[in-house]
Amino acid sequence: MSPDPDIKLAEHLFTALRDASTDGKGVTRDAYGQGEQTAHTIISNCAKELGLLVNIDGSGNLYLTLPGKDRSRPMRMTGSHLDSVPVGGNFDGAAGVIAGLAVLAGWRAAGYVPAVDVTVMGIRAEESTWFPYSYLGSKAAFGLVDNTVLDLRRADTGRTLRDHMVDLGLDPGRFGRPALNAEGIDRFIELHIEQGPKLVNAKVPVGIVTGIRGSFRYRDMRWLGKYAHSGAVDRRDRSDAVRAAAVWMAGIDAEWEALDEAGEDLVVTVGKLATNPTEHAFSKVAGELDCCIDVRSISEEVLDRYDQILRAKASTVCQRTATKVEFGQKTGSRPALMHPGLVGLLGAYASTRGINAMDMPSGAGHDAAVFANLGVKTAMIFVRNEHGSHNPDEAMALDDFALAARLLADGLADDR
Amino acid sequence: MSPDPDIKLAEHLFTALRDASTDGKGVTRDAYGQGEQTAHTIISNCAKELGLLVNIDGSGNLYLTLPGKDRSRPMRMTGSHLDSVPVGGNFDGAAGVIAGLAVLAGWRAAGYVPAVDVTVMGIRAEESTWFPYSYLGSKAAFGLVDNTVLDLRRADTGRTLRDHMVDLGLDPGRFGRPALNAEGIDRFIELHIEQGPKLVNAKVPVGIVTGIRGSFRYRDMRWLGKYAHSGAVDRRDRSDAVRAAAVWMAGIDAEWEALDEAGEDLVVTVGKLATNPTEHAFSKVAGELDCCIDVRSISEEVLDRYDQILRAKASTVCQRTATKVEFGQKTGSRPALMHPGLVGLLGAYASTRGINAMDMPSGAGHDAAVFANLGVKTAMIFVRNEHGSHNPDEAMALDDFALAARLLADGLADDR
């Protein structure tokens, strides 16, 4: 079996990343911004000190490679993303890159040379709260995006991806040039904190992912009514955007409840909602309401069915309330199944090592879905984590991380 | 019968007010701010040119008086407020002050002297979207507010009423000193645009108000859940503030529908709604949602009943969704009945003059409610107005205004 990962190094890197990207309340590593870039620099410098090969592709993704005995054969890959949501936690994404680096550092220190190249990837822009595009960095690495994405605007700055790349000294003209192809990759194993409470509730430190939920989103929905006096206009004469949206949300919530109770895999979230602050008042019927909706499932059929429910309910509500709705652009990602052989292999290693691990689906999306949907043999290892993710309270114990990194090393070293 | 109001002067004043308080899109006459103050100055200057007595009370309300034959007897009053909502229309409030001035100008030009003093009041801060207090100016004129209101903060600036008074050169130490008492007022007739569509729908130019809806408001409601990853946390593990608020709003909407169909007088408005822009994301379950609710009815019993419904539904929803709700402070105003004798008198004059007028309740609150609830003989005259109020599209025809002002003159001149 392969040598142990360097957990001391991992601990040092977690601290360095946190210190460099703190925003006072949590960490903010903005995609294609200074926060993410600082993380790339810290990881890249560490890899250079370890004597790994360091490459950056045209899209700004980072590759840290320990050369194997046979450099001509397809490589084994691991890694994750280095951005975070605004006011997020320190582990979501970064744990997967640091785990890969800890594995290679441990191997290098022990003089262990893998059979083929092993590459840790530091992926750009996975958190699509910045740029409205799922898996921007990993898709760009495979050449799966076209140039129009350079015109996408970052939600907080309103500036384009092109401008943000220039800020970082990256050449937008090279964005999206293929740096990876599926045939050149033997396997991809992504380590990530669990973002839900399943492992915590089950008191199990490590999860082995069987599949990743796909999604669809309407990020810019608008409900349109008519502003009116809140006292002087009776119920039948109103076009109330808030009332319409509320009745719609309650209606689709009841449908979700029914599907959930029927055992279908589905989560539905309206995470942002606002009347227009320049026109609303407590004494005005609202003429506008902006919101977004994020729908995820392991099943494409359920996603399609629920999309039809959203639209049918909206249409009924608009008729009943004399309002209009604009769904706006639909974005999303396909569900992805993990490779059963690789899942089984990781389970077998966990068993051999005496690591308590359980199989589970991933509710959140991950770059691993891009690899899997291209036919790469893909797996994911989850680390138990309290308080969820996308918030400053993420809490992953280093002991749990060490067990997961141990399993990652086994998965990358295995020569079968 | 008394001489005609000076409608040319009214037209001139409407234009002057609009020009002085335009915000590009509508008009903004901010309470105890420059917008309202400019309106007071324009009206006050005009009254001085007409030779009326001009007084300002400790709270900044304006009084324009045409002395009557017997100055010792209780005066007759008219008037309305001179502030507007943000991005509001030009007629809401101002029409009532301008109508009063047009009546006195017409009388003065014709050498007509009323039996007793007739006073037009320019009232401060009726639009409680600025300071969260119903009928601030008129209540202050009657000495009905205590000094704590000086600490109220204006919604847009966050600064106190005290500070805003100082800005205008008004002495906060004199705020709320009684300038009026019910015994000294023979009658109060407020002219106002209708803020709903009833007159437009009925094709009638003038309304005679029978009663004014009271209200209760929770201006600072908060729904509290727990931020979480939108993909990784399943339905049963969520505390979703948006979902809770939506289910609640839909629930109380169904109750409103039932009461409405049962013939109860009630309007319910959630005019402002927002997740926290510094923490929300399309990929996060929302942990916070701020909203407000405004509930109005002509019946205090219905208001009380609906308040209990709001609270009971919220409690059920919180249990079902693992969320919390904070209703915050409750504010509001009592319903007010107009004086049947005065209502009948105005109806009789309309009939005599051949003015097409209809009796109707007022959905919106008005300063007239303060006078009525103190026992002053009170009435209101509505002017037909398209597109509602509290928005830049208010559209009152000057011909309709002239009919209503004519009726106001009759109501103020009548010596019975």
DSSP lists the bridge partners of residue B295 as B216, B268
Across the interface, whether the CB atoms of B281 and A129 are under 8 A apart is answered yes
DSSP lists the bridge partners of residue A120 as A64, A78
Decide if B247 touches A, using CB distance below 8 A. Answer: yes
Predicted confidence at residue A142, as pLDDT, reads 98
Question: Which residue in chain A has the smallest CA separation from B230?
Answer: A269
Predicted confidence at residue B290, as pLDDT, reads 98
Give the length of chain B: 416
Decide if A148 touches B, using CB distance below 8 A. Answer: no
In this structure, the number of other CB atoms found within 10 A of the CB of residue A235 comes to 16
* B224, part of any domain: yes
In this structure, the number of other CB atoms found within 10 A of the CB of residue A112 comes to 15
Q: Min CA distance, B406 vs chain A (Å)? A: 24
Decide if A214 touches B, using CB distance below 8 A. Answer: no
Residues B155, B266, single domain; the answer is no
Predicted confidence at residue B377, as pLDDT, reads 98
Residues B188, B224, single domain; the answer is no
Question: Which residue in chain A has the smallest CA separation from B331?
Answer: A282
Share of chain B above pLDDT 70, in %: 100
Residue B1 has pLDDT above 80, yes or no: no
Residues B279, B307, single domain; the answer is yes
Among B219, B280, B363, beta carbon nearest to A271: B280
Residues B36, B151, single domain; the answer is yes
Distance CA B242, CA B219 (A): 17
- As for how many domains chain B has, the answer is 2
* A2, part of any domain: no
Q: Min CA distance, B33 vs chain A (Å)? A: 18
Decide if A49 touches B, using CB distance below 8 A. Answer: no
> Given A282, A301, A333, which residue is the final one in a domain?
A333
Residues A279, A150, single domain; the answer is no
Decide if B194 touches A, using CB distance below 8 A. Answer: yes
Among B195, B273, B292, beta carbon nearest to A289: B273
Residues A261, A325, single domain; the answer is yes
Low-confidence ranges of chain A (pLDDT < 50): none
Residues A24, A106, single domain; the answer is yes
In sequence order, what DSSP letters do the residues of B254-276 get, joined into one string?
A: HHHHHHHHTT---EEE---EEE-
Interface confidence, given as ipTM, is: 0.76
Residue B416 has pLDDT above 90, yes or no: no
Q: From chain A, pick out residues whose CB is under 8 angstroms from the CB of B197.
A: 233, 237
Residues B405, B256, single domain; the answer is no
Output B228 or B30, whichever has higher pLDDT: B30
Q: From chain A, pick out residues whose CB is under 8 angstroms from the CB of B217.
A: 282
Q: Which of B414, B161, B127, B51 is nearest to A281 (CA)?
A: B127
* B91, part of any domain: yes
Q: Min CA distance, B222 vs chain A (Å)? A: 14
Q: From chain B, pick out residues whose CB is under 8 angstroms from the CB of A281.
A: 85-86, 129, 271-272, 390
Tens digit of pLDDT for each residue in B180-201? 999 999 999 999 999 989 999 9
Report whether B259 contacts B175 (CB < 8 A). Answer: no
Distance CA B259, CA B273 (A): 24
The CATH number of whichever domain residue B16 belongs to comes to 3.40.630.10
Q: Which of A160, A134, A129 is nearest to A147 (CA)?
A: A160
Question: Which residue in chain A has the smallest CA separation from B242?
Answer: A270
Pairing of strands B206-212, B267-269: unpaired
Tens digit of pLDDT for each residue in B34-84? 999 999 999 999 999 999 999 999 999 999 999 999 999 999 999 999 999
Give me A325's structure tokens.
């709705």
Residues A368, A312, single domain; the answer is no
Decide if A299 touches B, using CB distance below 8 A. Answer: no
Decide if B284 touches A, using CB distance below 8 A. Answer: yes
Q: From chain A, pick out residues whose CB is under 8 angstroms from the CB of B231.
A: 195, 213, 215, 267, 294, 296, 362-365
What does pLDDT average to over chain B? Answer: 96
Residues A351, A209, single domain; the answer is yes
Predicted confidence at residue A343, as pLDDT, reads 97
* B92, part of any domain: yes
Distance CA A94, CA A72 (A): 29
Q: Which of A287, A227, A235, A231 is nearest to B89 (CA)?
A: A227
Measured CA distances, A53 to A65, A102, B166 (Å) = 5, 15, 69
Tens digit of pLDDT for each residue in B5-38? 999 999 999 999 999 999 999 999 999 999 999 9
DSSP lists the bridge partners of residue A285 as A228
* A1, part of any domain: no
> Given A333, A359, A377, which residue is the final one in a domain?
A333
Decide if B70 touches A, using CB distance below 8 A. Answer: no
> Given B333, B352, B381, which residue is the final one in a domain?
B333
Decide if A12 touches B, using CB distance below 8 A. Answer: no
Residue B343 has pLDDT above 90, yes or no: yes
* Maximum C-alpha span of chain A: 81
Among A234, A253, A278, beta carbon nearest to B363: A234
Across the interface, whether the CB atoms of B271 and A286 are under 8 A apart is answered yes
* B353, part of any domain: yes
* B321, part of any domain: yes
Expressed as residue numbers, the domain containing A352 is: 7-213+337-413
Q: Which of A258, A360, A366 is nearest to A306 (CA)?
A: A258
Q: From chain A, pick out residues whose CB is under 8 angstroms from the CB of B261.
A: none
Token pair 């046979």 in the structure block, residue? A70
Decide if B261 touches A, using CB distance below 8 A. Answer: no
Question: Which residue in chain A has the smallest CA separation from B201?
Answer: A237
Decide if A283 touches B, using CB distance below 8 A. Answer: yes
Among B251, B282, B363, beta carbon nearest to A231: B363
Predicted confidence at residue A41, as pLDDT, reads 98
Residues A82, A95, single domain; the answer is yes
Across the interface, whether the CB atoms of A250 and B245 are under 8 A apart is answered no
Question: Which residue in chain A has the smallest CA separation from B387?
Answer: A228
Burial class (CB in 10 A: 0-12, 13-18, 19+), B86: buried
HSE (CB half, 13 Å, CA atoms) of B26?
21
Residues A286, A190, single domain; the answer is no
Decide if A40 touches B, using CB distance below 8 A. Answer: no
Across the interface, whether the CB atoms of A246 and B243 are under 8 A apart is answered no
Across the interface, whether the CB atoms of A246 and B249 are under 8 A apart is answered yes
The CATH number of whichever domain residue A329 belongs to comes to 3.30.70.360
What is the phi-psi region of residue A414: left when phi exceeds 0, alpha when psi lies from -120 to 50, beta otherwise? beta
* B1, part of any domain: no
Predicted confidence at residue B174, as pLDDT, reads 96
Give the helix ranges, DSSP H, for B22-167: 34-49, 94-110, 136-141, 161-167
Distance CA A101, CA A93 (A): 13
HSE (CB half, 13 Å, CA atoms) of A193?
29
Mutate to test the interface with B, among A249, A284, A321 (most CBs of B within 10 A): A284
pLDDT band, residue B388 (cuts 50/70/90): confident
Among A213, A273, A285, beta carbon nearest to B231: A213
In sequence order, what DSSP letters do the residues of B211-267 get, joined into one string?
A: EE-EEEEEEEEEEE---EETTTS-GGG---HHHHHHHHHHHHHHHHHHHHHTT---E
Distance CA A108, CA A101 (A): 10
Predicted confidence at residue A241, as pLDDT, reads 98
Q: Which of B81, B99, B64, B78 is nearest to B30 (CA)?
A: B81
The DSSP H or E segment spanning A192 is: strand A185-193
Across the interface, whether the CB atoms of A294 and B271 are under 8 A apart is answered no
How many A×B Cβ pairs under 8 Å?
Answer: 242
Predicted confidence at residue A366, as pLDDT, reads 94
Distance CA A65, CA A118 (A): 6
Q: Which of A83, A84, A123, A128 is nearest to A100 (CA)?
A: A123
Interface of A with B in 75-134 (CB under 8 A): 85-87, 127-129
Distance CA A89, CA A111 (A): 34
Radius of gyration of chain B (CA): 23
Across the interface, whether the CB atoms of A235 and B260 are under 8 A apart is answered yes
Across the interface, whether the CB atoms of B232 and A285 are under 8 A apart is answered no
- Measure CA A288 to chain center: 31
